Amino acid sequence: MPTTGKSLLRKFLIWKYKHISERQFVYILSILVGFLAGMGTVTLKNLTHYIRYFFGLYIFHDYQSTLYFVLPIIGLLLVYIIKQTWLKKHIGHGISSTLYAISKLNGIIPRYNIYAGLITAPLTAGFGGSVGLQGPAVSVGAALGSNAARLFHMNAKTRMLLIGCAAAGAMASMFKAPIAAIVFAVEIFSLDIAFASLVPLLLASVSAVVTSYLFLGTDVLLRFELTDKFMVKDIGFYAVLGIVTALASVYFSKVFFSISNYFKQYDSRAFRLLIGGVAIGSMLYCIPPLYGEGYGIMNNLLKGDHLAAIGKTPFNFDLNNIWIVIGLLFGIAAFKAIAMTTTFGAGGVGGVFIPTLVMGSAIGNGFAKVINNLGLDFHVSESNFTLIGMTGLMAGVLHAPLTAIFLIAEITGGYELFVPLMIVSAISFSMTKYYVSHSIYTLKLAERGELMTHDKDQNVLMVLDIDKVIENNFVILKPDMTLGYILKNAVAKSSRNHFPVVNDNHEFLGVIRLDDMRHMMFDANLYDKVKASSLMHADHGTINYDEDSMNDIMERFKTSGAWNLPVIKEGKYYGYISKSKLLTAYRQQLINFTQ
């Protein structure tokens, strides 16, 4: 920042400290962050729309089938070039990266995340990559929120809150659903639902929605007016739909992790691009509805136009046969997960949220068509089941049942479907949770012990920095040192009562405590005879710097009964952690969390 800018910022901060309370300033920042998140989302949507509009012009009409194969590869190639030559940084999945920044980086998100997603996500989705924009929108908004907090010297707790505000703003702007956006921020980012947190979330959500209305008007991504009322006689069918969407959610998650792991085995990004680009191009050529985000599928199914949702394919299917239509809808649902993950594996940038809705809409609509065409005189609302299917996939795949309920309820403009929304959401979430313990966003973080949850004690341990509790002021001994040397150069010069013993490679061998030498300290005849190797013994256990989480360390103290434990880093002695210092650090962090 130029000197003039720094001077003006310093003057503003001084004025702010004198005239505006901390809480009032957080409210102001939440409105600003909501506006910025809304602008980021609007920009993402418009850039993607213009790219797709260009390739939808009349001059390309005769080449649409070919474009379905070629365009995704071109888009992925452009993203690859930008990453390799300009950004030169990794762009992770938006919401997962944001969750990691909250749990392990004190809410600090690099500035390049602001523009990285704005450029690469529209190129991926606009050229046909089968991904959504919600994840990148959250990533862009979170980066704006984090850096706004850093600019105005806000503490880590406020940074995390403003990241949540940005996530709510991105969601509110994307779907024009401010209530669902607040629920999303609380449910996904595990924010504390206290009054101090709720008001900023409300302000950010409203600010983002107003921004979206100002730049996009009243146009919404999902156009639907509820016409069919909820019928109590359909409860059984909704319960079965909950089971079906749970199974689909498990399938979605398993496909995501399997294909992701397959691509990870190749170190070459160019090779990933090659095999992924050809695969996604082939899928889109055969199944055109997989192209891009997939709002066309959802809106056409909600309007009852399944022919428009399926579109033209290179195969001559008899679309007058309803069972072929049903098969195609389930096929679209099955391949949406594959196409999305393949896009990611090839290097594309996007989100999981919208593909989840697309898959859910196809399953819900197909399920309703099965019921209506069994010949058993049953009839259900296909549009309602389309919406409820989206709820079931959201609840299962994202492990966000409340977000699923409130988003669909808000989109429909009322709460007529609240009962079936709750039934399907609860069944889908509970069944999926049994088979897949964490969502796509959180599984890898949870496996590494880096996931923020609503468990405050767990969160405090997670954000503790191990380097800040490791002590290195211990006199290190070698096994061939004599008792006399130890007393003169270690005991006499140290305030500690225990001494780590290491070999020439600095590998930890054991420990000698003052009590181990006390009975021979004044016997000079032993000074040259007794060596450290005969005095040392194993400690109560060790801490692995590279593998043990703070929760593991706390549990190690609890089970061993020790007051000090040695830390091993990359196989070598690194220092000690004392229980007293760890508990002091924990207490201070807990105070910060509860302020």
pLDDT of 457 over the 70 cut: no
CA atoms within 13 A on the CB side of 407: 32
Q: How confident is the model at residue 462 (pLDDT cuts 50, 70, 90)?
A: low
∠ CA 507-511-512, nearest 5°, is: 140
- Euclidean distance between CA atoms 403 and 240, whole angstroms: 21
- Euclidean distance between CA atoms 517 and 497, whole angstroms: 10
Where is mean pLDDT largest: 150-159, 219-228, 396-405? 396-405
- Euclidean distance between CA atoms 56 and 74, whole angstroms: 16
For the stretch 313-317, contacts whose Cβ atoms lie closer than 8 Å and that sit 24 or more positions apart, written own/partner, are 313/286, 313/287, 313/288, 314/65, 314/285, 314/286, 315/286
Q: How confident is the model at residue 242 (pLDDT cuts 50, 70, 90)?
A: very high
Tell me where in the chain the CATH 3.10.580.10 domain(s) lie: 464-594
φ, ψ for residue 565 (rounded to 5)? -135, 135
The set of residues, in sequence order, having a beta carbon less than 8 Å from that of 258 and lying 6+ positions away, is none
Q: How confident is the model at residue 62 (pLDDT cuts 50, 70, 90)?
A: low
pLDDT of 447 over the 70 cut: no
Sign of the CA dihedral running 336, 341, 343, 349: positive
- Euclidean distance between CA atoms 515 and 521, whole angstroms: 10
pLDDT of 595 over the 60 cut: no
pLDDT value at position 475?
Answer: 85
- Euclidean distance between CA atoms 444 and 96, whole angstroms: 9
Lowest mean pLDDT among 179-188, 252-261, 324-333: 179-188
- Euclidean distance between CA atoms 362 and 252, whole angstroms: 14
- Model confidence over 11-53: pLDDT tens digits? 766 766 777 777 888 888 899 999 999 999 999 988 988 888 8
Q: How confident is the model at residue 456 (pLDDT cuts 50, 70, 90)?
A: low
Percent of the chain with pLDDT over 90: 19
- Model confidence over 541-584: pLDDT tens digits? 888 888 777 777 888 888 887 888 888 888 888 888 888 887 77
Rg of the chain in Å (alpha carbons) = 29
> Under a CB-based contact definition with an 8 Å cutoff, are residues 201 and 186 in contact?
yes
- Model confidence over 476-510: pLDDT tens digits? 888 888 888 888 888 888 878 888 888 888 888 88
Tell me where in the chain the CATH 1.10.3080.10 domain(s) lie: 3-216, 232-457
Tell me the two tokens of residue 436.
């897949």
Percent of the chain with pLDDT over 70: 88
SS (H, E, C) 247-300: HHHHHHHHHHHHHHHHHHCCCCHHHHHHHHHHHHHHHHHHCHHHCCCCHHHHHH
- Model confidence over 371-409: pLDDT tens digits? 999 888 888 988 889 999 999 999 999 888 999 998 888
User: Where does 3-216 sit in CATH, by number?
Assistant: 1.10.3080.10
Q: How confident is the model at residue 593 (pLDDT cuts 50, 70, 90)?
A: low
pLDDT (average), residues 203-231: 79
For residue 247, give Cα distances in angstroms to 331, 337, 393, 572.
Answer: 15, 13, 9, 47
> Under a CB-based contact definition with an 8 Å cutoff, are residues 516 and 530 in contact?
no
- Euclidean distance between CA atoms 35 and 214, whole angstroms: 11
pLDDT value at position 461?
Answer: 61
**CATH superfamily membership of 464-594:** CBS-domain (3.10.580.10)
What is the pLDDT of the chain when averaged over all its residues? 83
- Euclidean distance between CA atoms 214 and 480, whole angstroms: 77
Q: How confident is the model at residue 206 (pLDDT cuts 50, 70, 90)?
A: very high
Domain 232-457 has CATH 1.10.3720.10: no
- As a 3-state breakdown, the chain gives helix, strand, coil percent values, each rounded to 5, of 65, 5, 25
pLDDT value at position 226?
Answer: 73
- Model confidence over 308-350: pLDDT tens digits? 888 777 777 777 888 999 999 999 999 999 999 999 988 888 8
Q: How confident is the model at residue 60 (pLDDT cuts 50, 70, 90)?
A: low
Lowest mean pLDDT among 98-107, 276-285, 295-304: 98-107
Determine if the pTM surpasses 0.85.
Answer: no
Tell me the two tokens of residue 545.
């710097």
Q: How confident is the model at residue 147 (pLDDT cuts 50, 70, 90)?
A: confident
Q: Which residue has the higher pLDDT, 157 or 396?
A: 396
